[in-house]
Chain A
Amino acid sequence: MLPPTTTTDGLTALPAPGAASPWRRISTGDDTVAVAERAALGTTARLAVWPPESLGAARGAVDSVLSALDRQASRFREDSEIAWIHRGGGGRFMLSNGLAEAVSVALEAARWTGGLVDPTVGDALISLGYDRDFAAIDPERGRPAGAPVPAPGWQTVRLDGPVLTLPAGVRLDLGATAKGLGSDRAARAVMNAAGQAGGVLVSLGGDIAVAGQSPRDGWPILVADRPEDQASSLTQHVRLAGGAVATSSITCRQWRRAGQVLHHIVDPRTGLPADGPWQTVSVAAATCADANAAATAAVVAGQRAEQWLAVAGQPARLVARDGRVRCVGGWPDADGGRIKVSPASQVYRGSRPGVLR
């Protein structure tokens, strides 16, 4: 399942395929909802459900979704579907429904953002040193990163139903949308497992989708730069009754090459890490894939981020490198404010989130 990273005696060992980290219960102070989390997709998956009795079924539903998404779209798994496509060196490929949906969402996100997020940044990330699971990257290396590789462009990729046409030398990275897609799928799967009763919140690395009936006044969520941040003057509490909220930030997933600090949000136009004024952007949208794409697009857009978000009509909270905070598009200024999202998705064209797994 995973690339071997550290071994003794030169032996390599892989975790058993499909082995999932165990869930652990989280106490938040409210016993009206059940909360649990586990490691998943190189980050943390968190699940909150009500009524609390539905947690068992919810965990199973989320496990199933994450396992399928990992098999479909991880470029770090030798046995993933997308790795198989990349080994083909270009051509036409018949995709599974799940990967076809993931590629479709990535291409729609690229179209919507005018290429600010682009799934063809795979080689750009590899050249910068993000060529394996992040936990396995050597954070300090004297050797400089490779030459920047601008993205070939999402327009070079064609998807006709389940048939993908990929030019030779183009490597896909679905990172700008896949985690959001996973949250959308998982939230929907939990509601199906619960017979549409109660409500659910699913967070994959801080990209959050909610479904069903929310608690009164919405799900309480902390907005922060880093996952370990506690409530402070730099964080904000918000309430989300429907839709999704996602955050992209350059404050995590950093590494160094020859003294240069690099991070994982790449500007497709240059092939270099985005260098704009915003270090963290949180966006609320109809679906988590929308929010995920818009947050990353805003970081890449730099000075134009506020303008782009205004045109896109998405509530957003932008944190500048100097700590300045801007709230746009109806994002609440006050602590504890409710976020209202636009009901229409821009990235799920012709498909319904979570139907294709």
Chain B
Amino acid sequence: MNAERDPRRGQVRLPAFADSAAAERQAPEAGGPALAGRSARARRSGLRRVRRMSNWTAAALIVGTGATTAALAHHAVSVAAPAAAASSSSAGVVTTTGTQGANGPRVSHSVATTSASGVTTTTTSTSQVVNGKTVISQVRHAPAYHDN
């Protein structure tokens, strides 16, 4: 993969690398051209190996970061959801959630009926002394409101 990339494009060479490259071109090594060629190949090969390793390291870091993010996000949802009775979406429209209780109790009988609203009436009695006499008043009522 590294061989296909131009190492000079978009990269800043370390001064030592530039210097050594210039030295390859301008100053023959003491051991002659053959030795100089071998050492240059070895240097290039070493550099390629180092660059390849750093790329693998970067890829591993990216993958690791992604996996960690996903794990944290999943953990956050699973913890927060049971507590959330309502939350707001980005559009400002309220969304209400209840969560199905994986850990909730088993309930087999209906606990409520959705239907027309029944009318509830109750009767209260109050007593009052009027002109020395106790008068009992009965009031038939229901706590005020109605349905629609």
Contacts and interface: CB of A to CB of B under 8 A. Distances in A.
Interface of A: 1-9, 11-15, 20-21, 28-30, 32-33, 35, 39-44, 46, 48, 50, 66, 69-70, 73-74, 76-77, 80, 117, 130, 133-136, 173, 175-176, 178-179, 184, 187-188, 191, 196, 199, 201, 203-229, 231, 237, 240-253, 264-266, 280, 282, 286-287, 296, 343-346, 348-354
Contact of B138 (A6, A32, A241): A6
Contact of A76 (B94, B95, B121, B144): B144
Contacts of B101: 199, 213-216, 241
A308 B92 CA distance: 23
Interface string B75-98: 000000011011111001111111
The 5 closest A-B CB pairs, nearest first, are: A242-B98, A175-B148, A205-B117, A249-B116, A32-B105
B42 interface: no
B100 A224 contact: no
B139 A4 contact: yes
Contact of B112 (A4, A43, A76, A219): A219
A280 B116 contact: yes
B14 interface: no
Contact of B135 (A9, A28, A73, A207): A9
Given A188-B85, A215-B107, A253 B146 contact: yes
Contacts of B83: 191, 196, 212
Given A221-B111, A222-B113, A247-B115, A42 B146 contact: yes
Contact of A203 (B97, B114, B137, B138): B114
A39 B146 contact: no
A35 B109 CA distance: 11
A43 B145 contact: yes
B100 A241 contact: yes
Nearest to A224: B115
A353 B86 contact: yes
Name the residue among B87, B96, B111 with the largest chain A CB count within 10 angstroms. B96
Name the residue among B88, B102, B114 with the largest chain A CB count within 10 angstroms. B114
27 contacts: A2-B142, A4-B139, A6-B140, A7-B137, A7-B138, A21-B122, A21-B143, A30-B105, A30-B108, A39-B142, A40-B143, A48-B111, A173-B148, A175-B145, A175-B146, A175-B147, A208-B114, A212-B85, A214-B98, A215-B104, A223-B115, A227-B113, A228-B118, A241-B99, A242-B100, A252-B117, A253-B146
B13 to A, nearest CB: 55
A324 B134 CA distance: 56
Contact of A74 (B115, B116, B145): B145
B127 to A, nearest CB: 9
A245 B106 CA distance: 21
A117 B92 CA distance: 23
Contacts of B144: 1-3, 41-42, 70, 74, 76-77, 80, 133
